[in-house]
Amino acid sequence: MQAENNGTEAISALAELWLESLFDDPATHGGRDVICSPAALWLALTALEACADGATRDELRGVVGPVGAQGTAVRELGRNDVFVTATRMLSQVRPRPEFHTRSYGITVGQPGLDGPSGLHRWAPGTNAPLSWAPQRADPARCALLVSTVALEAEWERPFDPCFTRELLFTDVRGVAHPVPAMVAEVPVEDAWTLVRPRGRVTVIELRARAAGGRAVPAAGPVRVRFALGENRQVPPAEVLAAAWAPAAHGKVLRGSRATGRPEAVLLELPRLWLSGDIDASPHLTALGVDRVFSASELPGMFSEPVHCERVVQSCVVRFGEEGMSSRTAACPAEDRSGANRNYLDGPGQLLRTVPVRLDRPFAVAVLDESGVIPLLGGYQAGRPGAPVPGPPLE
């Protein structure tokens, strides 16, 4: 899943800018969980840029860089079984007959014909439902750009369900919740700390591969990172930025005086399910993309002027003992708290370990095999577990 250097740099730059704008948005305050995909947003905007012209294209290029929809990054990021993404433009205005959806990585639908039920399958192989129905102020002239992301993968080293135990998780509001937590030893070289302006952040990396043993041609495993601020004063944006930062920027974890140099990290990770919808329109406007929402020129797609009412992204990912899943019908693993009593040698018993317990709000990041491209980023602020349906976007 390698991309051209210019595409990689553009995605990373968009991730940094979007992250700052995202957590400045009041909609993300108040203890709300956040999940987003800079790579998928970049893919959607790149497809839109390929269909744009004039000042609209110039604005979009200012965000995605001079990388057309035919670029290597677009082809490589969208062709594996781990990171599944799809882009759809919803409008009652029919596209040009010569518009080729495969060429631009985007499909066009007519909401008046297929309705919200047509969105219930985000992408091939997923059953993740969109939790809101599109609303159009002027369906004759407006369009809705929807970017959807699903993540399906297995851990290279699965957690043993026998060692899953209860963990007391204190959410962003200070409320404690008992939750099932997976426990495993992680090689010490896969953990590091970074110094941020308001405190240190500890980062743990796990590797994942395509689910079900499927081979992914020319694509290696993705890297999944969990980041925890040393105190609650470290803001979510800094914690997530640390998870995206190159591992080379970090320092190795150190043990206590009693344990000496650790041989492994004893990770306690709550089972969690992050999902949500983000209206990226105000964030894009803040980044200089404005014409697409008022007088966009999309001659490659429509024969008449059509502007985007909103650009919306929906993501879903579930973390369990065996890996990550986007299937909403999947049942969580059986709670086996205390089932490890018959085992003499459990995690942390044979090696010198330094404990990392994700018992308070933390960040999640999924990167490509190189550890450079931010595929997915999230912040677990509330109680980990099944998603609580939120209100539709206004």
Average pLDDT, the chain: 76
Give residue 386's pLDDT band: very low, low, confident or very high (50, 70, 90). Answer: low
User: What mean pLDDT comes out for the span 302-311?
Assistant: 85
Region 299-322 average pLDDT: 84
380 forms beta bridges with 362
Q: What's the pLDDT score for residue 19? A: 86
Whether pLDDT at 336 is above 90: no
pLDDT per position as a tens digit, 283-294: 999 999 999 988
More confident of the two residues 368 and 81: 368
Name the superfamily (CATH) of residues 5-153+273-317: Antithrombin, subunit I, domain 2 (3.30.497.10)
Record the pTM. Answer: 0.83
- The boundaries of every CATH 3.30.497.10 domain in the chain are 5-153+273-317
300, 389 Cβ separation under 8 angstroms: no
Predicted local distance difference test score (pLDDT) of residue 143? 82
Residue ranges with strand state E in the chain: 34-36, 83-90, 107-109, 142-151, 153-155, 165-170, 176-187, 191-196, 199-210, 222-229, 251-252, 264-270, 272-279, 307-319, 323-325, 353-357, 362-367, 374-380
Quick one: 154-272+327-380 is in which CATH superfamily?
Answer: Alpha-1-antitrypsin, domain 1 (2.30.39.10)
What Rg value do the Cα atoms of the chain yield, rounded? 21
- The residue behind tokens 């399958």 is 121
* H-run or E-run covering 54: helix 54-64
Residue of higher predicted confidence among 134 and 101: 101
* Calpha distance 207→243 (Å, rounded): 14
Can you give the pLDDT at residue 317? 82
Instruction: Return the pLDDT at 268.
Output: 95
- The CATH 2.30.39.10 portion of the chain extends over 154-272+327-380
Q: What is the pLDDT of residue 122?
A: 42
pLDDT digits (tens, 9 = 90+) for 61-111: 999 887 654 445 545 655 456 777 778 787 878 888 888 766 677 878 765
| pLDDT (0 to 100) of residue 338 | 42
DSSP output for 8-49: HHHHHHHHHHHHHHHHHSGGG-SS--EEE-HHHHHHHHHHHH
